[in-house]
Amino acid sequence: MYIPWEDSGEASLYLSESAGKGYVQVETLILDEFLAAEGWPKVGLVKIDVEGAEVEVLEGMRETARRSEDLKLIVEFNPGNQMKARGSCTKLFEILRELGFKRFYAIRHGLKEVILPDDVEKLIRLTESTKYVNLLCEM
């Protein structure tokens, strides 16, 4: 994990211009494997804020999404991080739809419903002052 110059909490698996303190190796796990080992407990909410690695996290929770018909997800959308990680902002939305999420809300001064992928430009505008916006995703 690359460590940013400032203690901003923006350490990332992806190298960026803010990474300057080097990197550290971190152990990761796949959510589906962890929950399987725990006997598949009920999961109602997952919060993802991983500075560009959101798609990787979502790939590792396909079975969790399948087993959790009422799952809610809060995921950070940072277009800059998505572009660095995969050169596109759309893969995040594609996998959310693949996993069965149907309703999306930007969390900014309340909830603002967004249609994905149609409202990507609207979401990008919401990130202009803060670089990111959290999305509430529902099945």
Q: Per the structure, how many domains does the chain have?
A: 1
- Residues spanned by the domain of 90: 30-138
pLDDT in tens, 57-106: 999 999 999 999 899 999 998 887 777 776 777 889 999 999 999 999 99
In a domain, 13, yes or no: no
Q: Which residue has the higher pLDDT, 132 or 46?
A: 46
What's the rounded Cα separation, in Å, for the pair 88 and 106? Answer: 19
Mean pLDDT of the chain: 85
In a domain, 22, yes or no: no
DSSP 13: S
Task: Output the domain CATH number for residue 126.
Answer: 3.30.950
| This prediction's pTM | 0.81
Q: Residue 54 above 60 pLDDT?
A: yes
Comparing CA positions, the residue from 123, 55, 57 lying closest to residue 85 is 55
